[in-house]
Amino acid sequence: MPEHSNSPPQPAPSKPVVKRRRVSVSWVWAVPIVAAAIGISMLIHSQKQVGPKITVTFLTGDGLTENKTEVRYKNVVIGKVTTITLHEDRSRVDVAIALVASAKPFAASDSRFWVVRPRIGAGGISGLDTLFSGAFIGAEAGEATNTQDAFTGLENPPPITFREQGTRYELHSDTLGSLDIGSGLYYRRILVGQVVSYHLSPDGKGVDLKLFVNAPYDKFVTADTRFWNASGVAVNLGADGMKISTESLAAILAGGIAFVEPQYSTSVEQSKADAKFTLFVDQSAAEAANGAPHYIRMRFDQPLRGLAVGAPVEFHGVSIGQVVSIDLDYDLVTQKFPTLVGAVIYPNKLGKFYQAIVSNPVVIKAEGGKPGWLLAKLVEQGLRAQAKTGSLLTGQLYVSMDIEPDAAPVLFDFKAQPLEVPTIEGGFDKLQDQVQATVEKISKVPFDDIGINLNVGLLEARKTLKEVNDSLLPEFDQTLKETNIAVKQISDTVLPELHDTLVETHKTMALTSDILAEDSAPRQEVGELIDETARTVRSVRVLTDFLARHPEALIRGRVKDKQPDGYQSSPSYSRDIEKEPKP
């Protein structure tokens, strides 16, 4: 039993009080909490900034680096390259790109991507800044509504952007020449566009080029517009001298195309997009074109050295086309090699003549609408083709078509394909034939015999001259000396005597002049003597006339006062007596 004691009683134990420990947060935990919050916010922000992921395929990954190469648009970063891997066929490189959220339009199916590197091309030098910053990928957002995640990258930057205002056209040319993507397009020597692409024609017989004409210059492209290759420097040496023409320095280096509308053009409406035009070789060929072209062929029997593709074809001195081919043929009958010349002509260049015939339904109906009937009419009138010399300095030839009224008739086949225009020998060829005939005649002259005869003649002449020198000249010299002595004697003797005689003669003439003066007595006496002589002569003449009429007077004498019976004096006798001068 429990032991009792005298000690005071102890109070009953109370309910134990449980004290709770106060929780305190240390400042040490603030740093990771803030870091976690920042990380979460950055994660959320980065998730909001993440855009679409795409893959672009390039031929090579030269200059591209994972997690470093940027994708830029207008020099603004819109993405970054994440990985670079080989394509499945190992012919290309797949570049994975992570775009930012604001770059979602760049996922459109028609978006374009290319690598920007230092380049020297038709458009100039570009990408020089990448020499220091490294290559980057350029981008251009498309306009399509559907999106995709795989693209094929461009190997060259696009010449134009989707949002650039302008119109695209297509040109067809026989060859590309020095043209390239980015080659300039010029209108009146002002840069108004460029070449954006080119490819072979489907038939492989030419090249099709795509042009982009910037607005507002595209309104000048009409249905009559002519395009020509303006690359390099055009040097023409013809009858008018040397002509040098070019569009610009850029066209010389990188090629270019020029266009203009003809002066006579009445078309003012702009051509529709993707309209097709012909690219001519040069401006002359472009200006010669008018309407639909027609291919013709000509057969020349003479050599055509100096005739080249592109040479003009003229009618009445006006260019209506150009030569497009020159080939040889063989004639089994004559066993010769004629030259076949193909040319493209434009009948519209004939002006009102062509328009009047084509638009005349009566003529068309009469000809049955057969192709070539217009050319057949011209051939019937004497149309002939000739190869003429355009420049004597260079020897270049051109084809001249003209009406020859005296041309021999030929059989023209208007069903032939192509149509063949008859030819005649050119004037220069005739001149050459004449010169050749003259040369042949000259070659027949016996120059050797003439030379021998001339040599013999010269020998004979030399002998004659020797004889003259040996014999005649000494005698001639002696004769000259004797002549000189005789002249000296005449000068010493004869001339003084002649001088004295002339003096005496002069004195006599002076004296005679004094005697014959009007107031001198000798002259008066001479005058009276002359008068008496005249009267005597007159009396003798009267007496002679009287005796001729009255010969009986010599027997009877002069009877006047006492006349015999039956005698009647003659009236004429009386008149003669009366006329007799009194003494």
Question: Which residues, in sequence order, are bridge partners of residue 62?
Answer: none
CB 399 within 8 A of CB 341: yes
How are the residues of the chain apportioned to helix, strand and coil, as percentages rounded to the nearest 5?
Answer: 35, 25, 40
The pLDDT of residue 370 is: 54
> Measured between alpha carbons, how far apart are the two ends of the chain, in Å?
260
Q: With beta carbons less than 8 A apart as the criterion, state whether 51 and 99 touch.
A: yes
C-alpha dist (Å) from residue 23 to 16, 18, 20, 26: 22, 16, 9, 10
Model pTM?
0.51
For residue 259, list its beta bridge partners: 187, 227
Give, for 83, the enclosing helix (H) or strand (E). Answer: strand 76-86
CB half-sphere exposure, 37, CA atoms < 13 A = 5
* Residue of 265, 301, 258 lying closest to 282 (CA atoms): 258
- Residue 292 gets the label, from left (phi > 0), alpha (psi -120 to 50) or beta, of beta
Tokens standing for 479? 């004769």
From CA 311, how far away is CA 324, in angstroms rounded? 8
Q: How many Å apart are CA 344 and CA 309, to the nearest integer?
A: 11
pLDDT tens across the length of the chain (583 residues): 445 555 566 666 655 655 555 555 567 677 787 788 887 877 766 666 678 889 999 998 888 889 889 899 888 888 999 999 998 888 899 999 999 888 888 888 889 998 887 765 555 555 555 555 678 888 888 888 888 989 998 887 787 766 778 899 999 998 888 888 888 889 988 889 988 888 898 888 889 999 999 989 998 998 888 898 887 555 555 444 555 555 555 555 556 889 988 766 666 788 898 899 988 888 877 777 776 778 888 989 888 888 888 888 888 888 888 888 898 888 888 888 888 999 888 877 776 666 666 666 655 555 545 556 677 778 888 888 888 887 767 778 888 888 888 888 888 777 777 888 888 886 555 566 666 777 777 777 777 778 888 888 888 888 888 877 777 778 888 888 888 888 788 777 877 877 778 888 878 777 777 666 666 677 777 777 888 888 888 887 777 777 777 777 666 665 554 454 444 444 444 444 444 444 4
Which pLDDT score, from 0 to 100, does residue 1 have? Answer: 45
- Amino acid in the structure at residue 360: N
Tell me the HSE value of 125 on the side-chain side, using a 13 A CA sphere.
5
SS3 13: coil
Where are the alpha helices (H) located in 18-174, listed in sequence order?
30-49, 130-133
- SS3 assignment for 190-249: EEEEEEEEEEECCCCCCEEEEEEEECCHHHHCCCCCEEEECCCCEEEEECCEEEEECCCH
pLDDT for 171: 92
* Closest alpha carbon to 432 in 521, 318, 306: 306
Cβ distance 399 to 314 under 8 Å?
yes
Could you give the CA distance from residue 257 to residue 571 in angstroms, rounded to a whole number? 130
Q: Which residues contact 219 (CB under 8 A, 6 or more apart)?
A: 270
- The residues spanned by each domain of the chain are 43-152, 165-289, 295-445, 521-579
**Residue 477 to residue 27: CA distance in whole angstroms:** 155
Residue type, 261: E
d(CA 380, CA 373): 10
Q: How many residues does the chain have?
A: 583
CA-based nearest residue to 230, from 192, 200, 270, 201: 192
Minimal CA–CA distance to 345: which of 413, 262, 421? Answer: 421
Tell me the C-alpha distance between 237 and 408, whole Å. 35
